[in-house]
Amino acid sequence: MDKVIRINVGADGGPTVTEETLGKYAGFGGRALTSAVVCGEVPPTCHPLGPENKLVIAPGLVSGSAASTSGRLSVGCKSPLTGGIKEANAGGQAAQYLGRLGIAAIVIEGEHSGSDLYKITINIDGVKVETDNSLAMLPNYDLCEKLKDVHGDGVAVISIGPAGEMKMSNSTIAVTDPEFRPTRHAGRGGVGAVMGSKGVKAIIVDPGGTKIRKPVNPEKFKAANRTFVEGLKQHGVTGQGLPTYGTNVLTNVLNEAGGYPTYNFKEGRYEGAADLSGETQATLEDERGGAGSSTHGCHRGCGIQCSGTFYDKDGNFVTKQPEYETVWAHGGNCGIRDLDVVAKLDFMDDNYGFDTIEMGVTIGVAMDAGVIEFGDAEAAVRLVEEAGKGTPLGRIIGAGAATAARCFGIERAPVVKGQAMPAYDPRAVKGIGVTYATSTQGADHTAGYAVAPNILKVGGDIDPLSHEGQADISRNLQIATAALDSTGFCLFVAFAILDQQETFDAMVETINGMLGTELTGESVVELGKAVLTMEREFNAAAGFTKEHDRLPSYFSREPLKPHGVVFDVPAEELDSVYAF
Amino acid sequence: MDKVIRINVGADGGPTVTEETLGKYAGFGGRALTSAVVCGEVPPTCHPLGPENKLVIAPGLVSGSAASTSGRLSVGCKSPLTGGIKEANAGGQAAQYLGRLGIAAIVIEGEHSGSDLYKITINIDGVKVETDNSLAMLPNYDLCEKLKDVHGDGVAVISIGPAGEMKMSNSTIAVTDPEFRPTRHAGRGGVGAVMGSKGVKAIIVDPGGTKIRKPVNPEKFKAANRTFVEGLKQHGVTGQGLPTYGTNVLTNVLNEAGGYPTYNFKEGRYEGAADLSGETQATLEDERGGAGSSTHGCHRGCGIQCSGTFYDKDGNFVTKQPEYETVWAHGGNCGIRDLDVVAKLDFMDDNYGFDTIEMGVTIGVAMDAGVIEFGDAEAAVRLVEEAGKGTPLGRIIGAGAATAARCFGIERAPVVKGQAMPAYDPRAVKGIGVTYATSTQGADHTAGYAVAPNILKVGGDIDPLSHEGQADISRNLQIATAALDSTGFCLFVAFAILDQQETFDAMVETINGMLGTELTGESVVELGKAVLTMEREFNAAAGFTKEHDRLPSYFSREPLKPHGVVFDVPAEELDSVYAF
C-alpha cells in the first residue's frame, strides 16, 4: 500500500491524475501522512480556500487488512475554520477499500477555476475524473441514492454536501458506512470547504476485484490481532459500555460530574439530561426495534460496535445513532431535551454536510445572542435548514460558532483557534480544557481525551477540578492519539490499550505482523511526537503563538455551576504541554 | 489639561465617575495617550467586547488651543475588527472642547450588564451619566437632532449609531462638525462596538464657560503658529489641492498611476474614474452651489479646509463632501460611477455609524462573491440599509470584509489583520503595501502614507512599482504619523512639514510655545517610536507575529493591470520596518 494518487484540478485542459509511490513519505499513514504532506507542500500562510492548499485523504497504516477496528480515514489540509493544520478523522468503508486498492493517499491540489463539479472514481483499473454538474448542491443522502444507480452500493463514497460546495467553514467530508449511508464524517475544521474549493463533489472508491491486504508475517499478525480483540472485549468501556449504549453513555456521566455544558456553556448540569441519555436512548431503541438499532459497526471489521441506527416511533430510519457529542450539542447545549429532535438535526447535519459539534455550538451562540430562544427546537431545525440552503442567516450559521458570535456581536463564543468546544466543560474537566487550549487542531476532545483519566478513571485518575497534573495527561494523550490516528485504528481502542498493557502490546504486534516492521511502544510514542511537532511547526509558521493556546478569557472569569469553578490552569502549565 | 475622567459602567448601583490627573501618563496626548492606557490597562488577550476592554477618548496635546489645525480626537481600545490595538482618529469639534475643559482623556471601563443605554454629559461643572433608552437605535443624524433640543448645537456630540449598538465589527464613533452634523468619524477598527459594549450611546461635550487654552509662552507660540500656518498655505497640497478639490483630488491621480483598486482589487484602473473625480465633484459643487460646498473645515481653527458639503441637484443637503477613500470604496471598487450614489452611501454610513472604507470593501467582497452584481447601485444601497437594520445579511455586511468573505466562502478579502485595505492598490503603490502589512492598526493608509513619496512626490520620490526603499519610507512615515497623531494636529499637515523644514520646526515650536516643553525634531521622532513600540508589544502579547505582517497571498499571485505587477516586497524587508 504505497500508491499516492495526485489529482491536479488546475491543469490546462482539465484535471490530471498522476500516480507515484510514497517516496519520502514512506512509513507514514493516516494522520502522520496527511500532516506530512500538508506540512511539506502547503504554504502555512496560504488561504485555506486558495490554490495553494491541498486536500489529503489517507487510510491508516493497517486499514484494508484484517486488523480489528482499523478502518479509520484521515483527511488533512489547512483548515478554513482554524487557519491552522487540520486532520479530521472518519469511520465508514472508504479507508478499508483504499487500503485494499493499495492507495496510501489521495492528494487533491491545484487551482480550480470555473464552477464545474468533479466526480472521481477509483477502482482496480485506475482513477477517472469526470465533470458531473448534475450532482450540484445534492445533499449527501440524495447524492448516494443517485450514485447507487450507477455504482451500486458495494462501493464507498467520500463526498461533500451543499455546505462544502458553498465553502462554509463548518463543512464536512462524508463517508458511507456499510449500509451505504453517508453517516460517517471527517467533521471538524471545515475540510468539506477545501474539497469544495477544488470542485470535487464525490470520490467513489470501488474495491471490486481487490482482496483484503495480506500480512507480511501472517502468524504473528493473527495471534496478535486475536489478543488485541480479546482485550477490546474484556475492557469495560470497549467491551460493554460503548456497544450497549454507544457514546451517548456519557450524558449521565458528564452531567453527574457537573461538566455537561448547558445553554452555551453557561452551566455544567442540565435538568433535561435524563431525557437525552444513552440509557433513555437504549430504551427507545428497544421499544422501536429495527435492524442495527444498537451494536453496529461504522465499518466492517470493527471489534467495538459503538454505533447504531435511530428509528422514529413508526420504525422509519431517521439517522445513525447520534453520538454523545451530537446529542449534547443539539440537546443540552441548546436546551433541547428531545432525542427525536436531536436525531432529526443529526440527519440534517449529515445530509447537508455539517459538523454536529460546530453546528450545535453555533446554534447555542445564536440562542445566547437572542436570535432564537434556548429550547426552541423548531427554530433550531430552521437554522440548520437555512444553513443548508445558504440563506444569509444560513451563511452566518454555516461559518461556525466564532464567526456567528462576531456577526451577532457577542463575546461568548466557546472556541479555541476558531473551532467550537465539544461536550465537556473545560472548567469542570480541566484536563480536556488543556487539550482544547493546546491542541494543534483547535478545541477538540479527540486530540487528547483527558476525559478518560479525569472522569472515566481510565488510563489514570486525575481530579478533574484541579489544575494539577492536567498538562501531563493531556501531553501523553495527545502524543498517543497522534500515533493512533496514523495507524487506522479507531481512537476508542485507547480505552483498552491505556488500561491493559497486553492489549497495547498486541496492537503494536498487530501492526508489526501486518507490515513487517519492528515498532515498539517507544517508537509509537516517537511517531506521535513527530506528528505533533510537525503540526505545531506548521501552525507556528501560519502565525500561531502561545497566546493562541488559551481558552477565551470568560472561562477564567465566569464560574461554572454546580462546582463554581473557573478554568485556572496556569499559562506556564499550558505552555509545558509541548515540552517534549 | 491633565484631567482623566473614568466612567465605570460596571459599578454596583450604576455607572460611577471618577476624576484623576494624568499621573504616569503625563506628557502624553492623543494617540500616545490612548495607546498608553490601552497597553497599560487592557489585557492583550481579552475579548474586545468583554469587560476587560476599555474605550479611551483623548484630544491631542495642543487641542483646544489656538494652534492651527489641531482639533483631532483619538479613540483607542482593543479592536473588535483586528483583535489588536486600535487608534482611530476623527476631526469635528469634540477635541477642541475637551481641551478647553482641561480633559486629557475619557476612559470608559467595566462590565456593562443589562441593556440600558447611557448618555454622558460633560461640561464645566463636571460629568453626568444618565440612562436614556429613548436614544436606542437612533441613527447619528436623528440622534443629533434629538440632542439639539436639549443641549443646543453649541456642544459637540461623540456618538454611536445602530452599528455600534449592535456591536458590529464595522462600527464607528461619530463626532459632530461645526454645523453640528455627525460627519466626522473615528472610523476604523470597530471602535463603535466597544462604545456599544459599554452601553454608551452619546457623550455631549459642552464648552460653555470655557476659554481657549492659554499658551505657556504666548509670544513663542504666536510666532511659531503664524509660520506654521504660512507653511500650510504655501505648500501645493495643503494650500491648494486639498482646499480646492478635497481629498478626492486623488481619484484621477491614483487612476493614472494604475493603483486605483477596481472591482474588489481586481484591476488598477477604472474606466469610470472621471465620473468620480475631485474635478468632476468640484464642477458639480459649482453648479449646485450651497454653503460650504467646498473649502470647509471639519473643525474650527483648521488651516487647510479640505472638507465640504455635498448637495443634491435641488440644493438639498446630502452629506459632507465624500472623502477620496469613500468615493473610491463605494465608487470604483464597486463599479459604481455615480457621485450622487456615493454621496447617498456616505450619508447612510455616517448615519448608521459605518466606516466607509470597510463598508465599501465589504460590498465589493459581496459583489465578488456574487451576492449582488458589480455596478448595481440600488443593491449596494440595500446592503447598507440591511446592515443598518441588522438583518441577517446586514449582520454579515456589518462584520466587515474579512468576515463577509468567510461567510460567502471566497478567498479574495483585501484585508490585513482583518481590516480592509483602503484606496491604494499595494501592488502598484508598494510603499503603502508595506504600511498595510506592517502597521499595528491593520491595513490603514493613514498609518504611514507612503502614497506621498510614491505617487505625489512629497517627502521624497520613490518608484511605486519597485520594492526598493519602501520599507524605509514606510518606517519613517509610521514613526512621524504616530507622533503627529499624538499632538492633535491633522495628519494632512504632514504634506507641508515633510517638504518644508521650517514648517516642521514651526509646528514643534508651536507645541513648545503652547506647553512650555523643549521638544526637538529628534524628540518628536522618539515619541513616534515609543508609541509604535508599545502598540507593537500589545499586538505581540495578543498573539500577532511577523506572519500577520503580510498581505493576503493572492496579492503576490495575481498581477494587477495595467502594470502587470504583483506585491513582491520581500519578507525580510517587511520585517525590517520595526527595526528601529
SS3 A18: strand
The angle subtended at Cα B427 by Cα B425 and Cα B433, nearest 5°, is: 70
Cα A410 to the chain's mean position, in Å? 27
| pLDDT-above-70 percentage for chain B | 100
Q: Per-residue pLDDT for B291 more than 90?
A: no
User: What distances in angstroms separate CA B25 from CA A44, B18, B30, B36, one per listed residue?
Assistant: 41, 16, 11, 7
Query: Lowest-pLDDT range, A287-296, A450-459, B79-88, B481-490?
Result: A287-296
Enclosing H/E stretch for B116: none
Average pLDDT, chain B: 97
C-alpha cell, B95: 477635541
Q: First CA to last CA across chain B, in angstroms? A: 31
Sequential DSSP letters for B458-517: -S----TTS-TTHHHHHHHHHHHHHHHHHHS--TTHHHHHHH-HHHHHHHHHHHHHHH--
Residue-wise pLDDT tens digits, A533-549: 999 999 999 999 999 99
Looking at beta carbons, which pairs linking B533-538 to residues 24 or more positions away fall under 8 Å?
B534/B35, B534/B36, B534/B39, B535/B35, B535/B39, B535/B85, B535/B87, B535/B440, B535/B441, B535/B482, B536/B440, B536/B578, B537/B39, B538/B35, B538/B38, B538/B39, B538/B42, B538/B44, B538/B84, B538/B85, B538/B440
Distance, CA of A551 to CA of B315 (rounded, Å) = 56
Indicate yes or no: CB of A45 within 8 angstroms of CB of B553.
yes
- pLDDT at position A289: 85
SS3 A307: strand
| Smallest Cα distance from B447 to chain A, Å | 22
Contacts of A554 in chain B (CB under 8 A): 47, 50
| Smallest Cα distance from A49 to chain B, Å | 6
What confidence tier does A294 reach under pLDDT thresholds 50, 70, 90?
A: confident
Q: Where are the alpha helices (DSSP H) in A301-391?
A: 324-330, 339-352, 356-368, 377-389
The nearest alpha carbon in chain A to B553 belongs to A46
Across the interface, which of B50, B166, B407 has its CB nearest the CB of A396? Answer: B407
B262 DSSP assignment = B
What confidence tier does A1 reach under pLDDT thresholds 50, 70, 90?
A: confident
- The total number of residues shown for chain A amounts to 580
Across the interface, which of A193, A548, A553 has its CB nearest the CB of B543? Answer: A548
- pLDDT at position B337: 97
Q: Do B360 and B188 touch, CB atoms closer than 8 A? A: no
* pTM assigned to the model: 0.98
Residue A272 makes CB contacts below 8 A (sequence gap 6+) with A331, A332, A335, A337
User: What distances in angstroms separate CA A463 from CA A236, A257, A436, A542, one per listed residue?
Assistant: 21, 11, 18, 35
Residue-wise pLDDT tens digits, A319-355: 999 999 999 999 999 999 999 999 999 999 999 999 9
- CB pairs A-B closer than 8 Å: 97
Average pLDDT, chain A: 97
Complex-level ipTM beyond the 0.90 threshold: yes
Distance, CA of A23 to CA of A116 (rounded, Å) = 32
Residue-wise pLDDT tens digits, A83-102: 999 999 999 999 999 999 99
SS3 B282: helix
Enclosing H/E stretch for B5: strand B3-8
What confidence tier does B395 reach under pLDDT thresholds 50, 70, 90?
A: very high
Distance, CA of A267 to CA of A272 (rounded, Å) = 13
SS3 A175: strand
Q: Per-residue pLDDT for B292 more than 90?
A: no
- pLDDT at position A347: 98
Cα A240 to the chain's mean position, in Å? 23
B237 DSSP assignment = I
User: What distances in angstroms separate CA B50 from CA B14, B128, B164, B193, one per listed residue?
Assistant: 18, 24, 14, 11
Distance, CA of B368 to CA of B376 (rounded, Å) = 12
- Cis before residue A562, ω within 30 degrees of 0? yes
Sequential DSSP letters for A211-273: -PPPPSSHHHHHHHHHHHHHHHHHSIIIIIIHHHH-GGGHHHHHHHTT---BTTTTBS--TTH
- Cis before residue B562, ω within 30 degrees of 0? yes
Distance, CA of A292 to CA of A285 (rounded, Å) = 10
Residue A170 makes CB contacts below 8 A (sequence gap 6+) with A81, A163, A190, A354, A355, A358, A359, A362, A387, A397, A398, A399, A400
What confidence tier does B294 reach under pLDDT thresholds 50, 70, 90?
A: confident
Find the chain A residues whose C-beta atoms sit closer than 8 A to any C-beta of B.
43-47, 49-52, 80, 166-169, 193, 196, 391-393, 395-396, 398-399, 403, 406-411, 541-545, 547-548, 550, 552-554, 557
Q: Per-residue pLDDT for A291 more than 90?
A: no
Cα A10 to the chain's mean position, in Å? 28
- pLDDT at position B177: 97
SS3 A106: strand
What confidence tier does B1 reach under pLDDT thresholds 50, 70, 90?
A: confident
- pLDDT at position A292: 82
Q: What is the dihedral sign for C-alpha A20, A24, A25, A27?
A: positive
Q: What is the CA radius of gyration of chain B?
A: 22
Q: Which of B201, B544, B192, B565 is nearest to B400 (CA)?
A: B192
Residue-wise pLDDT tens digits, B503-552: 999 999 999 999 999 999 999 999 999 999 999 999 999 999 999 999 99
When scoring B403, B406, B538 by the number of chain A Cβ atoms within 10 A, the one with the most, hence best to mutate, is: B406
State mean pLDDT over A9-37.
97
Cα A565 to the chain's mean position, in Å? 29
When scoring A78, A85, A395 by the number of chain B Cβ atoms within 10 A, the one with the most, hence best to mutate, is: A395
- pLDDT at position A186: 98
Residue A113 makes CB contacts below 8 A (sequence gap 6+) with A10
Q: Which of A117, A157, A151, A154 is nearest to A137 (CA)?
A: A117
Determine the angle formed by the axes of helices B377-389 and B356-368, rounding to 10 degrees.
Answer: 120
The nearest alpha carbon in chain B to A556 belongs to B46
If phi > 0 it is left, if psi is from -120 to 50 it is alpha, else beta; for residue B461 that is beta
Contacts of A167 in chain B (CB under 8 A): 409-410
What confidence tier does B289 reach under pLDDT thresholds 50, 70, 90?
A: confident
Find the chain B residues whose C-beta atoms sit closer than 8 A to any C-beta of A.
43-47, 49-52, 80, 166-169, 193, 196, 391-393, 395-396, 398-399, 403, 406-411, 541-545, 547-548, 550, 552-554, 557
What confidence tier does A293 reach under pLDDT thresholds 50, 70, 90?
A: confident
Distance, CA of A287 to CA of A279 (rounded, Å) = 12
Q: Per-residue pLDDT for B120 more than 90?
A: yes
| pLDDT-above-70 percentage for chain A | 100
State the residue for C-alpha cell 475524473.
A129
Residue-wise pLDDT tens digits, A162-219: 999 999 999 999 999 999 999 999 999 999 999 999 999 999 999 999 999 999 999 9
The nearest alpha carbon in chain A to B545 belongs to A543
State mean pLDDT over B22-44.
97
Across the interface, which of A44, A406, A541 has its CB nearest the CB of B399? Answer: A406
Across the interface, which of B168, B406, B545 has its CB nearest the CB of A545? Answer: B545
Q: Per-residue pLDDT for A576 more than 90?
A: yes
